[in-house]
Amino acid sequence: MRCQLKDAQISAVVVTYDRRDLLTEALTALEGQTRPPDAIVVVDNASTDGTSGLVRERFPDARLLELSRNTGGAGGFAAGIACALELGADALWLLDDDTVPEPGALAALLAARERGRDDAGRPPALVASRVVWTDGRDHPMNTPRSRPSAVAGCARIRSASFVSVLVDAEAVRERGLPIADYFLWNDDFEFTLRLLRGRTGLLCRDSVAVHKTASPDFDPGRRFFYEVRNKVWLFTRSRCLGPGERLLYAGATARRWARTLAGPADRADLARELGRGLWAGVRSGPRPNEAVLTCRDSGPR
C-alpha cells in the first residue's frame, strides 16, 4: 500500500474568485499535508483583488490558470480538471478556495481509495472527506446521504460536493468534465452523480476539511435562479440518474423548493427567480464547455 500511495500522481485543483486571504489559507494547508499533492492547479476566475499575483509570488510551484471572465465554480473546475488530466494525474483532489483540509486529509483519502478497490483492482470513482464548519459540526451543505460500506472507516455515497473530494482520473476521462455553463450550484451534484452511476463512491470519515462559509445555513437569495435552472437541466438533459432515481430526486427537489419559498421574507424575489430558472432551464440546455471557457495557462515559474 505504501508504494501505491507514494506512486499515485495526485493533482489538487482549487478554484478561486476574489478571496485571496482564504485562498492563502487553503494553499498553505495543501502544502502542509502529511502526503502533499504532486501538483497544484489554481484556477483564478478573473479575480480583481490581486489573486494571480499572490499565487505567483507566494506559491510559485502552482500551475495558475487565469480565466478571462468569471465562469463560476462550474467553469473553474472544468478548466482545472482538464489541466490536471493533461498533467497525467491518476486522481484529482478538488477543493473550493474556502476549504482548509486538516494535515492528514489527503493521506486518509488515498488510504481509503486503496481499501476501496474492487476485485479487479479498480479504485472507487471518488472518495470524499468529512466536511465540517468552523465550529466542528458536520457542514449541512456538504454532508451527503450515506449508507453502510464494507470499507473500514467509510460509508457509501451517491454524490459529493467540490469541497475536498478525490476523484479518479480514469472515471473522469470516461464520463466527462463538469458542465461549465452551470456556473454555480448543482454542478458538483451533476458531475459526481454522473461519475457514480454504476460506480462506487465513499465518504472517508478520517479525512476532515473545514469549509469556511459565512454560515452553515442554506440561503439562496437571487442565486435561487441557478438552483432551479440547473436542476431542470440535470433532470431533463443529463444522464447522471436512472429513471427511478430521477423520480425520487425530482420529488425531493420539489419539497426543498417549497420549503425555501415558504421560509424567508423575500418570497416574491424567490418566486421571481423560480420562474426565471424554470423558463431558462426549459428553453435551452447548457452550452458546450468550449463555448464557455477561455483561459491563459501561466504554469509554474
- What are the angstrom distances between the C-alpha of 249 and each of 35, 189, 200, 246, 254? 37, 11, 19, 5, 9
Residue 264: predicted pLDDT: 64
Residue 223's H or E segment, with its range, is none
Q: Spell out the long-range contacts of 133-142 with Cβ–Cβ below 8 A and sequence spacing 24 or more.
A: 133/210, 133/211, 133/213, 133/216, 134/210, 134/212, 137/216, 139/163, 139/211, 139/213, 139/216, 140/216, 140/217, 140/218, 141/211, 141/213, 141/216, 141/218, 142/211
Q: How confident is the model at residue 140 (pLDDT cuts 50, 70, 90)?
A: confident
Q: Is the pLDDT of residue 67 over 80?
A: yes
Contact 183, 71 (CB under 8 A): yes
Q: Is the pLDDT of residue 191 over 60?
A: yes
pLDDT averaged over the chain?
Answer: 90
**Span 150-173, mean pLDDT?**
94
**Span 181-187, mean pLDDT?**
93
Residue 299: predicted pLDDT: 58
Contact 188, 75 (CB under 8 A): no
Residue with cell 462550474: 74
Handedness of CA 286, 192, 15, 17 (dihedral sign): positive
Residue 134: predicted pLDDT: 87
Residue 301: predicted pLDDT: 42
Residue 125 amino acid letter: A
Of 86, 129, 92, the C-alpha closest to 11 is: 92
Q: How confident is the model at residue 265 (pLDDT cuts 50, 70, 90)?
A: low
Residue 96: predicted pLDDT: 94
Q: Is the pLDDT of residue 218 over 80?
A: no
- What are the angstrom distances between the C-alpha of 220 and each of 131, 209, 226, 281, 286? 20, 23, 9, 17, 21
Dihedral angle computed from the Cα positions of residues 211, 64, 20 and 127, in that order, rounded to the nearest 10 degrees: 0
**Span 149-160, mean pLDDT?**
91
**Span 76-104, mean pLDDT?**
95
**Per the confidence metrics, is the pTM higher than 0.75?**
yes
Compare 103 and 266 and report the one with higher pLDDT.
103
Report which DSSP code applies to 103: T
Q: Is the pLDDT of residue 1 over 50?
A: no
Q: How confident is the model at residue 217 (pLDDT cuts 50, 70, 90)?
A: low
- What are the angstrom distances between the C-alpha of 282 and each of 183, 232, 295? 17, 7, 29
